[in-house]
Structure 1
Amino acid sequence: MPSTFAGSGETIPPLSSRDEDHAARAGLRDLSELATLVATGRASSKTDLARLTGLSRTTVSKRLDVLIRRGLLSTRLGDSTGGRPAVELGIDPAAGVVAAVDVGAAHCRVGVLDLGVRLLADAYVDFTPDDGPEPVMAGILACLEDLLTGLGRRWSDMRAICIGIPGQVDAETAQPIRPVMLPGWEGVKPQETFSRVCDAPVLVDNDANLMALGEYRARAEPVDQMVFVKVGSGLGCGIISNGTVHRGADGISGELAHVRLRGTDYEDLLCGGCGNSGCLGAVVNGPAIAARLRADGLRAETKWDAIRLAQQGEPRALRAVREAGERIGEVLAAMVCFHNPELIVIGGAFAILQDDLLAGIRSVVYERALAQATRRIRIETTTRNADLGMLGAGCLAVERALSPAGLVTWL
């Protein structure tokens, strides 16, 4: 029996016919592409959509009629320039929301965003690494409940949830893999927690991947090839290739923290993440930098102490930050030759020390990488550090909500 998008009058033929099935799926892909272009702000009119998709204006009009009647898109008259005002497209505020959760080592930020990736409300959930996943997930759930209530929303309005964690994530199962900073989170399934209250899909990704996506989407100029490096309590890396996050075959692409450094100073330094010695992530992280400063006679119990000392101009702290940049530069130099990015962005807590950290990174990258690979490359710190994880998680959640798979259960 044929099926119909509710309220649209557009019929999907029976799946028994291969050609008709292909046409129906193509229509669903069109709906997803059009909705995503409007949601991300890349298109606001039929003309924009026809130009960006290559679809005819007639097809665009038919697809938009489905999306508008189903309450996903809305229209309004734009400002007149002397002639007939143009019709502008946008996401209908009542179409639903997504949730973004940015989990750190001692707290997580929880946010509710609309389908245009605009933050509507957020709050923090504090915890200790020893708490384990159950109370943390319960706290996230309760926090989201409060945020939704405050916005006058219900769980039925939730279209997708995305959680970013500091550690590797299995691409197939969406479960954490030996997250050093989150003891007990190995194999945790956040989907089970949220399935108690809603049917929205739950995505789990590495926090550096989400920060890279957030940086990419927030930039005014297009950047197709970008590497994002997070330097904080740990070391993470996200890769943007042709405008999308590159995760590799198993979801662990960009794990530069486990690239081994050469040199006798690091050969016996054990990596808590993989058990090998001399890994970059064991040498360059907040606790390791603080430990080196303590060995130099300074009071530095945490990464924040190390950052404060460097900001105050303490020579030993500045030297430690520059050396950390040089070690990162050693690995990035190889990545530059291999991936050939046009932009490297440094984020995380230590990004505030941009002058000294960037000096160390740039000196090694420009010295060791192939000249042709560094001809156009820029190396800079982010200007949106605090919001990148939330923005990236929101983008990924909206992308899932507006995907063909997301729309088929919605429309």
Structure 2
Amino acid sequence: MQSLQAICETPESLFEHSDEELLHLVHKEFPEELDPLQRADSIRDGPWTPPNTPSPSYILYKKDYDEVSRTLLGVLALRWIHTGQYEAFIASQPADAKLTRASFDWIRAFYAQIISDRTSLFTLITLIIIHDLGKDPKMASDCRAQTGEDISTLNHDAILLEACKASLVPKLALLPDEDRVDALRGIELGATFNFGQLAQAENVPASLTGLYKMRGHNRSFKLHFMKQLLKVAGAAGHMDWSCARNLIQPIFDSYRNVYDACEGIIAGTLTVRSGYDLVLTRRAELLRDQNVRVYHVEDVLEDRALMRLLCMGNVTMADEAFLYEGAWQALEDPIRETLVRGLNLDGKRSEPAVQPTYMPVLLGLVKDENALVCIFRYLAQILSATEVGDPVAVVIERSVYTVLKQVIESNEFKNDPSILEMVDVPAGVVLLTTASL
């Protein structure tokens, strides 16, 4: 049987294979990249009913592994895009939020631009497969054994970059020179800038400065963005592998906004602050069209802060916006003022900004105003913790992942959200030390 890399040179022949054959081809090419994902932790969004077909990971391992299934669903989504299977792509997406045919066609056209040569498809699949390797706890320990540096506190994108630098991702070395350079450039960007984090206003303007390095490297940027769309398409693959359940229209719209912001920053027509605010403004316009009040993102700091929270909570409907408004107004004035200040920091050495990683996941689990108020108070503590003892810190990452797993998902929190008042602020990690705002 031909290798996956050879088959990818004629994409039509690759996608003629059945789903099961395609998955086995991928595993045969990437066993050292897929097998470690069995160790990766994941978060589930409460009870769900899985499809009555075996998951992608079960097809390969006779056992369900969340991160393996999520990764492989991204490959299956690639097939649906390539072959124009719109109905398969949206099969069980919620009816009121399904990706439109026009948006699906935009993705197909964008994808067609990328695979215009013989090597790009294999490079794209490689990027999908290795994207979450940093979630394997052994990756950080392997890096430490090789380099002597402890990188276990870094986010998984930064861990992947360090692993690539340490030659611990051997599949990259097999790519043609141009493809390898483009792939690494995207991985380097991803270590400090994440499309999803901008779509959800989780990061800060300083995090976007890495986009400057994409000037003159259009192919690398497009490969990186396409990979990210496919990761979103597969993000619910541990619970529903029947379609690209997570890439619904509201999420696609947010990623299109991010793409436009990035293009403007790379082209020099937008600053990192104005590019960031483009994302916030478009979310405000979406809500305004549903008779939610007008938010003056560029002129009123409190409106801008609240719009960041609405983006973090993936708020796209009027009733959700009113819930957040109610929680915002219920806050004590000093807490609200702390949030306004923290959510408007761009990130610079004199005033480092905090990135509350996993806050969108946490907010997505809360639908009650009282619980939301408690989370806003806790977020105020996180955002005001800007001291890490590093004078060159520009962006400080404080991940609420442990809080999410140990507190928010507990019955105690459901019964009494105020228990968050007793939870310590997460440890800070310096994410960025240089930025040109």
Same fold (TM over 0.5): no
TM-score normalized by the length of structure 1: 0.31
TM-score normalized by the length of structure 2: 0.30
Higher strand share: 1
Mark the structure with the bigger radius of gyration. 1
Higher helix share: 2
